[in-house]
Amino acid sequence: MNIILLGPPGAGKGTQARFLVEERGMVQLSTGDMLRAAKSSGSEMGRIVADVMDRGGLVTDEIVIGLIREQLETVKANGFIFDGFPRTLAQADALGDLLAEKGESLDAVIELEVNDEVLVERIVGRAAEAAAAGQPVRADDNAESMKVRLMEYYKKTSPLIGYYYAKGQLTKVDGLGEIADVKAAIAAKLG
Ligand code: AMP
């Protein structure tokens, strides 16, 4: 089974993806994690994407599609969770093509529905918690980048909700509840 977790920054995609990895043995493909790894390794790609990521903008379709293509070509899994990808219609089309080339399909797109004020609180709270625990704080977890990330989401990513609805693949889950409730709701939808 291959699924997409869709939702704005702070909706809980990463948290829920980790549960699916633990419980179903699926493989999480997070373009955000891949890009952060490139950034901290100091690779050429990392240097190219660092600025735009820190400001909260989207990196180019070419780069993220390349990352996903590479993973799909090399990683064997009995199910992928796409977390933070696709974020544009071009990425969504590319993912459809890449899966079709592998003879695979997309089984569900789970949209985590949340409210914007909660998102901003969660993101700023996530940064404060990490700082208090002496953990690294994401460079883009601040109120300024958050505004840009939300705007990018509404301008470029939210059209994917209609796109996948029209394809009959969209499933909405309330992302505002307790983490365990969201987890149970996703499990119920996936069967
Ligand atoms: P995330 O961890 O998913 O919140 O991603 C962190 C940042 O990485 C985003 O704000 C973007 O700058 C970049 N990024 C991650 N995934 C994508 C994507 N699919 N398309 C474009 N930029 C991305």
Q: Using one digit for the tens of pLDDT, what is the confidence trace for 68-90?
A: 999 999 999 989 999 999 999 99
Per cent of the chain over pLDDT 90 is 85
Q: How far is the CA of 129 from the centre of ligand 1 (A)?
A: 21
Sequence letter at residue 58: L
**What is the pLDDT averaged over residues 32-53?**
97
Give all strands of the β-sheet with 3-6 in edge-to-edge order: 27-30, 80-83, 3-6, 108-113, 170-174
Six-digit token pair at 82? 């796409």
Q: How far is the CA of 83 from the centre of ligand 1 (A)?
A: 10
CA distance 154 to 29: 22
pLDDT at 78: 87
Instruction: Say whether pLDDT at 95 is over 90.
Output: yes
Nearest ligand 1 atom to alpha carbon 30: 3
pLDDT in tens, 111-154: 999 998 888 888 888 889 999 999 988 899 888 998 999 999 99
Six-digit token pair at 144? 């300024």
With the most atoms of ligand 1 within 8 angstroms of its CB, the residue from 18, 30, 49, 53 to mutate is: 53
Residue 4, beta-bridge partner list: 82, 109
Average pLDDT, the chain: 95
149 is a catalytic site residue: yes
CA distance 171 to 84: 16
Six-digit token pair at 52? 């735009």
Q: Which of 3-12, 39-48, 129-138 has the lowest mean pLDDT?
A: 129-138
47 is a catalytic site residue: no
122 is a catalytic site residue: no
How does DSSP classify residue 177?
Answer: S
Name which residue sits closest to atom 15 of ligand 1, judged by CA.
32
CB neighbourhood size of 180 (10 A): 9
Pocket of ligand 1 (CB under 6 A): 9, 31-32, 35, 52-53, 56-59, 64, 84-87, 91, 140, 149
